[in-house]
Each structure stands twice: as C-alpha cells, then as structure tokens.
Amino acid sequence: MTTAEESGRDAIVRAARRAFTLRPYAEVTLRGIAADAGVSPSLIVKRFGSKEGLFNTVADFEPAADALFAAEPAVLGRHLVLTVVRLRDELRGDPLLRVVFSLGIDDERTLLRERFREQVTARLAARLAGADRELRAELIAGQLLGLGATLSLHRPDGAGTRTPPGRLADLYAPGLQVLIDGGAARRDPRDPVSVGG
C-alpha cells in the first residue's frame, strides 16, 4: 500500500470513527463519511466493501490493544499512558473512547462493548497475575478511558495538552502500575489505618 493509499484509508477510518461516535448507525452514510474524509464514496466501498464493513473496522480495538500492551508488566503503567497520548496524536482522536460515547442503537453499542471487553479488558486480564486480575483489568481500562476523556475535555488549550507526555506518565502511571502489580499502594505512615487495612 502506498503512502497516499494509507493516508486515504486513515482519513476514512478517522471520519468513520467520528461519524459512528456522534450519530446512530442508521443516520451515518458513506457519502457523509467520504465528504468528511475528502474521498469518493466509491473508494470507501472499494476499501471496506460496505457501511457494515467500515463499522466493523471502526469497532475493532485490536490494533490499539496491540500497541497498548506491547510492554512488560513491570513497566506497563508508564507505557500505557505514553501510548494513549501517542495514539491520540497519530489517530487524531482517542483509540478507546468511542466505546463510551457511541450513540448507536443498542445492537451497535453492545457490539462495541463486547469487542472492547474481549479485545482490551480480557486481553489485559490475561496478562495480569492474581485472583482479582479481571477486576484490576476493568479498573485499568476505566483509568485509560478517564485519561482520554480528560485530555479530550480540556483540549485544545488545557494543561494536559501543554504537558509533555513524560510528565503525564510521571503523574498518571503509578496508579495504573499499582493495579497492574496487584499490590497495595505504599501507605504513608502518617495516614490513618482503616479497619481491616
């Protein structure tokens, strides 16, 4: 695939993500996506076959999961933060948030949630150790969605936008890493100890 073909495909996928996130499936048209992407509707049909084929591509979290989980557990928290920020820049949008903000009918929302659970949460849980790894995977996924939502909410001139990715990771990754490791956060001896804690 040439660079022009790749950029055309990327533009179509970005436009489709926006469209399927902002409007119910039935209201999304290939013509509208094509106009947003700056391509012809026939190019979308050539590349994706149909609106359903394009939706299935957009509903695929596997490429984002591949990038997110490409680090050893000992450094995964920092890697997750840096990768979310990098993917947001590369994709010109958050790689995970569409699961939360999709306005599709129940079937489409259900498909997105099921794919997210299978391709992101369950895959992460399989990499974690410990009896409560499914819970910790859900909490990590929630924190990644929270990071993406925060960066989106405060763009274009929020503090997160102006902060270097390394500093964001310095602040955000330790909480993720505690969940990845499955251990309790180090307690400050000055903090009160709760009953049973």
Task: State pLDDT tens for residues 48-87.
Answer: 999 989 988 888 899 999 999 999 999 999 999 999 999 9
Q: Is 91 exposed, middle or buried (0-12, 13-18, 19+ CB in 10 A)?
A: middle
pLDDT at 29: 93
Q: Rounded CA gap, 85 and 79, in Å?
A: 10
- pLDDT of 27 over the 50 cut: yes
Q: Rounded CA gap, 57 and 12, in Å?
A: 11
From the list 67, 64, 68, 28, the residue with the least C-alpha distance to 48 is 28
pLDDT at 194: 47
Residues sharing a CB contact under 8 Å with residue 81, sequence separation 6 or more, in sequence order: 147, 165, 168, 169, 172, 173, 176
Q: Rounded CA gap, 67 and 74, in Å?
A: 16
Say if pTM beats, i.e. exceeds, 0.75: yes
Q: How many helices (H) and strands (E) does the chain have?
A: 12, 0
Average pLDDT (99-117) is 75
- pLDDT of 10 over the 70 cut: yes
Say what percent of the chain tops pLDDT 70: 86
Backbone angles phi, psi at 158, to 5 degrees: -75, 165
pLDDT at 152: 86
User: What is the chain's mean pLDDT, rounded?
Assistant: 85
Q: Do residues 30 and 24 touch, judged by C-beta distance below 8 A?
A: no
pLDDT at 5: 61
Instruction: Locate 17 and state its tokens.
Output: 């993500």
- pLDDT of 88 over the 60 cut: yes
